């Protein structure tokens, strides 16, 4: 099997995304409404809680400074799968709108971060529509989420199926924002579009000019004022890719918060 290009893009480096946590305020959780819903029967299952404990604590070989976000994203995936079924496999090469990090499916996709929720699939289609129509470039994905299982995510935050890494634009090859081929205007347009998307909650990318752009600043302020904030940060390891997080499905988010309120993971 052809190894993917991830290592050359650096997005598998551990620890680079673990220093930030960002959870939006939600209405108070009503535990009665959660546990009484029939499709939440799994919450009564002792095995489920054992699984939660297993997936939520940071293993010794892994470096994640923010244990809460590690647990949060891991539990969110378990909950998603209980409610909606397995994460989906990225459909590679879909109408050439987005380009995965290898041309063909490997025989065994479980070791690769190529899984996502149905919601993210829809979001991906919206975003690729923009990059195709407005920028006339493909979207190049470098990481999504690993298949669930014992050996889960090398990334600390890529656990929920709602997270992705993509190359900066024009995305024709691995590049950083310092490269000559990097197109600032294109990335500016993309960043403004992305931050204005109401379901985007977190973006890490390091081009300092983007952070100084007045339109970018006003989009962030408007979302803050509207009670739907988006976090846009420079984080070590994000010169060569955008790290993008989308809002969790509201039921998944609610149940994840409920579970976290029941167990001390620290
Ligand atoms: Zn990432």
pLDDT digits (tens, 9 = 90+) for 177-229: 999 999 999 999 999 999 999 999 999 999 999 999 999 999 999 999 999 99
Q: Measured between alpha carbons, how far is residue 57 from residues 67, 121, 138, 153 in Å?
A: 7, 28, 37, 13
Does residue 170 have a cis bond before it (omega within 30 degrees)?
A: yes
Adjacency order of strands within the sheet including 242-246: 98-99, 139-143, 163-166, 242-246, 200-204, 231-233
In CATH, what number is assigned to the domain containing residue 26? 3.30.1380
CA of 26 to the centre of ligand 1 (A): 24
Q: Is residue 225 part of a domain?
A: yes
> Taking 70 as the threshold, does the pLDDT of residue 256 lie above it?
yes
The domain total for the chain is: 1
CA of 200 to the centre of ligand 1 (A): 13
CA of 34 to the centre of ligand 1 (A): 31
CA of 47 to the centre of ligand 1 (A): 30
Mean pLDDT of 163-190: 95
The answer to whether the pTM exceeds 0.85 is: no
CA of 203 to the centre of ligand 1 (A): 9
Q: Is residue 81 part of a domain?
A: yes
CA of 69 to the centre of ligand 1 (A): 13
CA of 13 to the centre of ligand 1 (A): 10
The band of 149, judged by pLDDT with boundaries at 50, 70 and 90, is low
Q: Is residue 153 part of a domain?
A: yes
Q: Is residue 4 part of a domain?
A: no
- Across the chain, mean pLDDT equals 81
Two structure tokens written together for 1: 């099997």
Helix (H) or strand (E) holding 89: strand 88-89
Q: Pick the residue with more confidence: 2 or 237? A: 237
Lowest mean pLDDT among 44-53, 148-157, 199-208: 148-157
Question: How much is the pLDDT for 112?
Answer: 83
How many Cβ atoms sit within 10 Å of the Cβ of residue 34? Answer: 17
CA of 241 to the centre of ligand 1 (A): 8
> Taking 80 as the threshold, does the pLDDT of residue 152 lie above it?
no
Q: Is residue 26 part of a domain?
A: yes
User: Which structural domain, as residue segments, surrounds residue 61?
Assistant: 22-262
Q: Is residue 38 part of a domain?
A: yes
Q: Is residue 39 part of a domain?
A: yes
Question: How much is the pLDDT for 37?
Answer: 55
CA of 234 to the centre of ligand 1 (A): 12
Q: Is residue 14 part of a domain?
A: no
Residues in Cβ contact with 236 at an 8 Å cutoff, skipping those fewer than 6 apart: 16, 19
CA of 157 to the centre of ligand 1 (A): 7
Strand partners, 246: 200
Helix axes 67-84, 46-56, angle to 10 degrees: 140
Q: Which tens digits make up the pLDDT trace of 16-35?
A: 343 333 333 334 445 555 55
CA of 12 to the centre of ligand 1 (A): 8
CA of 217 to the centre of ligand 1 (A): 22
CA of 136 to the centre of ligand 1 (A): 24
The band of 58, judged by pLDDT with boundaries at 50, 70 and 90, is confident
């Amino acid at each position: 099997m052809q190894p993917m290009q991830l290592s050359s893009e650096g997005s598998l480096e551990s620890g680079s995304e673990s220093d930030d946590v960002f959870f939006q305020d939600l209405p108070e959780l009503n535990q009665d409404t959660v546990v009484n819903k029939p499709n939440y029967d799994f919450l009564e299952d002792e095995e489920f809680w054992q699984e939660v404990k297993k997936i939520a604590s940071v293993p010794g070989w892994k470096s994640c400074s923010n244990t809460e976000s590690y647990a949060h994203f891991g539990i969110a995936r378990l909950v998603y799968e209980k409610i909606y079924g397995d994460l989906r496999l990225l459909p590679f090469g879909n109408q050439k709108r987005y380009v995965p990090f290898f041309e063909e499916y490997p025989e065994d996709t479980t070791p690769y971060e190529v899984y996502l929720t149905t919601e993210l699939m829809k979001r991906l289609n919206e975003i690729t529509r923009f990059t195709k129509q407005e920028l006339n470039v493909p979207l190049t994905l470098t990481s999504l989420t690993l298949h669930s299982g014992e050996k889960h995510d090398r990334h600390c935050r890529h656990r929920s199926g709602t997270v992705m890494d993509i190359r900066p634009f024009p995305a024709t090859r691995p590049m950083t924002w310092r490269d000559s081929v990097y197109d600032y205007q294109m990335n500016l347009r993309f960043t403004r579009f992305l931050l204005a998307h109401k379901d985007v909650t977190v973006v890490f990318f390091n081009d300092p000019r983007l952070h100084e752009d007045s339109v970018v600043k006003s989009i962030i302020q408007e979302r803050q004022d509207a009670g739907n904030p988006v976090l846009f940060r420079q984080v070590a390891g994000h010169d060569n890719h955008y790290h993008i997080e989308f809002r969790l499905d509201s039921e998944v988010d609610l149940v994840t918060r409920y579970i976290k309120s029941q167990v001390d993971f620290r």
